[in-house]
A = this chain, B = another copy of it.
Amino acid sequence: MARRNKHSLEEIREMVLDAAETIVINEGYSELTVRKIAMEIGYTVASIYMVFTNMADLAMHIKANTMDELTEQLQQLPRCAPERQIVELARAYLKFAVKNLNRWNMIFVQDTELPEWYRQKINLIFGLLEAQFALLAPGCSTQQSKLAARALWSGVHGICTLSLTDKLDIAGIDEVENTIVLLAENFINGWVSSILSVYQQQ
Binding site for B on A (CB under 8 A): 108, 110, 113-114, 119, 122-123, 126, 147-148, 150-152, 154-159, 161-163, 165-170, 178-180, 182-183, 185-191, 193-194
Residues of B within 8 A of A151 (CB): 155, 159, 179-180, 182-183, 186
Q: How many chain copies?
A: 2
SS class, residues of chain A in contact with chain B:
helix
B147 close to A114 (CB less than 8 A):
no
Residues of B within 8 A of A190 (CB): 185-191, 193
Rounded to whole Å, the gap between the CB of A35 and the closest CB of chain B is: 20
Residues of B within 8 A of A155 (CB): 151-152, 154-156, 158-159, 183, 187
**Cα distance A158–B151 in the bound complex, in angstroms:** 9
User: What would 10 more interface pairs be, CB under 8 Å, given A150-B168, A185-B190, A189-B190?
Assistant: A113-B166, A147-B182, A150-B179, A151-B182, A154-B158, A157-B161, A182-B191, A183-B187, A186-B187, A189-B193
